[in-house]
Chain A
Amino acid sequence: MADPNFGRILSDAEVVYYLLKGEKIVVTPLLDSAQVKSTIDLRLGTDFVVKKMDRFTHLDPITLHRVQKKDPEAVLQIYDVIKRPDPRSSFILHPKHFALGCTLEYVYLSPEIGGILEGRSSWAREGLNVHSTAGFIHPGHRGIIVFELSNSGSHPIPLHPGMRVAQLLLYELANSTELPYGPDVAAKYTKYVATNFGRPWEDWEFACLAESARSEDEKHYS
């Protein structure tokens, strides 16, 4: 039977204890203790990825799945561009625009600790979203956390590297996960230290879907 003390959201003292121990949770660099409450405030890093919008009409994962088998990097360079503004300046996120960003912090969670990423209320009130429906950080995660930044407000927001834009709520599982996110499972986004591109077309289901689409095409043209 599972221990009733486990399987719950961590309190501030527990977060501090685990951070001090540095075994179950590592968040580095942490500069100010004000970052740690019952959640840990996360700061914005220096790399941003934006989509090239001037050349392509749409993003078709099945076509991209076929292309990436030949040259994985070509796909990324077709659609995405990395912006690395001077860390002393800012990246302007305009209303209704979307960009990927990353945390300044490196985060490690052990197999029994998971995280939920959420925005900070101050920035949420200005319309800044830090994730779009993908806020779970799996147990076993290591590396930076990627933000899916979008501005749903009415004014452009200058994003300065180092500003606190998000918070990480931590929970402890009732039992340690058998397959933590990382070396033992096919984890696409582990051990990164800079903003990484999204690669949905690498998912296994697209191998089947691409095959089925090809046979449909053959039927159609035969």
Chain B
Amino acid sequence: MDEVRNLFQNWFGQLVERIVRLDQYLSERKASAPTRVKLRRNIVSELLSSLHQLAEELHEKATFFLSDKSPESRRSLYYAFVLEATGRYRRLHALINYIPAPWPSPHLELFLTKVLEEGGLEGSVHGQEPMLCNTLLSADYNFSHILVPIAGASAVVGQLPLQNLLTVPSAEKDNPLMWPNLLHELAHVIGQEVIDAAQECLTHVKAPQIRSILGRWTHEIVADLIAADYLGPAYFGSFVTFCTYWVPQSPRLPTTSHPAPDKRVEYLFHYLNQQSPDFITALKSLYADYQTRLQMDHEDFKSRNSVFDAYRDTRAADKPFPLEELRGFVSEIVALPEFKKIRPRTMNVNDALEVQALARYLKEGQLIASRRDNAILRDYKSVEDVRKDYRNALSSLQEKPNDVRLILNAALIRRLSDATVDRRGKNSGAPLTFHAKLLDDYCKSKEIVASKRLMELRQTVNNLDSVISKSMEATTVMAFYQSYQQRQARAGE
């Protein structure tokens, strides 16, 4: 029962967090609308009111759930409720498409550029042969090619290049812990050669049905592997979060374009576990929630089918694809020379230790851009010691920036670890058991939708995000210095 309780607690908490994010986004849009529009009831106001209604219902259920009165026999009802609430949130979020969206902040693009640079693909996005990736705010994480049709333009400018569009959910644009999903979308672009090569490997698969399905799924599998290689467990964390709490559909459902999420989680888990088992232990709680959801999904599979109409593709669901086939295919892809060409250094035990150290620093709003570890510095016992050896002491202050992927992983681990609460009982900086605390805060007041209450919740949510973003920004700016110093050193030689 504890596992089920944890799942619901985190699920409710995730919903609260996402409602707070969407509320914040809508408030921003409302504030930036022309003054006359504000006087009328507009779509933003309507959306906000539907969102607050969902918040009220969630509040009611969560309060009852947290009050220990919920008997074990009712867990199916709770499961049905959170599924329905998750679906409703998704539909509300999708309505954002009717509102003009601003161009996303440059941070998303910088994040992608920086991660690729760190992995050795410098210039892939903004190099001499630009890949023309644009990021847009939309309803979901997605990737697509578009060819811009401009009548008569081709005669003047020739064939316009293929545009690669990445989309990110509007409400999640400032949530760094979910940015790894965006890297998966970008991997569709940088992994094109690998995808082509992998599809050629399929000729030895005898069953035509399996070959055809694998051919279509290759895009996703390759993108998963690239994202996992570049970001390690941070990608696994964001993907499992997405599968566990964000989608109302069963994780067992494959589609014609995507393998079933449960299979993807399994081969990613296996793949990362081979590389760096130390990381996986840190993700236990998240993985446990996922497993619990999978079990509950199995119990209710048939009954929910009729209730929520979420299983249109039941024919595919009836034919579970053998995991061994996928694992074998993954091993083949990893061995391809095309894959090795774009593969970064994979994370190892040393990285795991560094990530754990960084996660400790990420508290009370402390930045983690620096790599300085006091333990390895010479021990200066007094100011006199420093005076005697001033130049060395000064030079030992020099630091190098951390990789974005280390920061993201540290942030994820910090988020999954225990909450730190300051003397006033408020979450400070990087709290967590984030969801438990958030949900607890959420249920303390009856007037949940009062803006002051939402403002406080926003503050809690924003604190962690801004600490992570700020660390990444500091790292990016510091990287410019570092590359300059390296160039100077090379010139000196």
- List the interface of chain A (C-beta within 8 A of B): 12-14, 16-17, 19-22, 26, 28-33, 36, 43, 45-46, 55, 70-74, 77-78, 84-88, 104-106, 108, 142-144, 161-162, 183-184, 191-194
Contact = CB atoms under 8 A, between A and B. Distances in A.
Given A13-B383, A71-B455, A142-B364, 14 more contacts: A13-B386, A16-B390, A16-B393, A20-B374, A20-B397, A28-B366, A31-B478, A33-B394, A33-B397, A45-B473, A87-B477, A191-B364, A194-B466, A194-B470
Interface string B53-73: 000000000000000000000
A86 B423 CA distance: 37
Contacts of B367: 28-29, 105-106, 193
A88 B364 CA distance: 28
B383 A17 contact: yes
B480 interface: yes
B481 A17 contact: no
9 contacts: A12-B390, A17-B386, A20-B374, A20-B397, A45-B474, A78-B31, A106-B365, A106-B367, A144-B470
A72 B455 contact: yes
Contacts of A184: 423
B324 interface: no
B421 to A, nearest CB: 11
A45 B474 CA distance: 8
B387 A13 contact: yes
B397 A16 contact: yes
Which among A14, A36, A55, A87 has the highest number of chain B CB atoms within 10 Å?
A87
Contact of A106 (B366, B395, B397): B366
A28 B478 CA distance: 11
Interface string B460-488: 00010011011001111110111000000
Contacts of A191: 364-365, 428-429, 463
Contacts of A21: 374, 380
A17 B394 CA distance: 9
A21 B396 CA distance: 12
Interface string B195-236: 000000000000000000000000000000000000000000
- The interface residues of chain B, by DSSP majority, are classed as helix
Contact of B474 (A20, A78, A104, A108): A104
Q: Which of the four size classes fits the interface of chain B?
A: 35 or more
Interface of B: 27-28, 31, 35, 105-107, 109-110, 364-367, 369-370, 372, 374, 377, 380, 382-383, 385-387, 390, 393-401, 422-424, 428-429, 451-452, 455, 458, 463, 466-467, 469-470, 473-478, 480-482
Contacts of A36: 394, 397
B70 to A, nearest CB: 34
Contacts of A28: 366-367, 369-370, 372
A161 B27 CA distance: 28
Nearest to B361: A28
Nearest to A30: B397
Contacts of A29: 367, 369-370, 399, 401, 474-475, 478
B399 A30 contact: yes
Contact of B107 (A17, A55, A84): A84
Nearest to A44: B477
Contact of B477 (A70, A106, A161): A161
Which among B110, B429, B470 has the highest number of chain A CB atoms within 10 Å?
B470
A163 to B, nearest CB: 10
B52 to A, nearest CB: 14
Contacts of B451: 70-74
Nearest to B473: A46
A162 B482 CA distance: 12
A53 B97 CA distance: 30
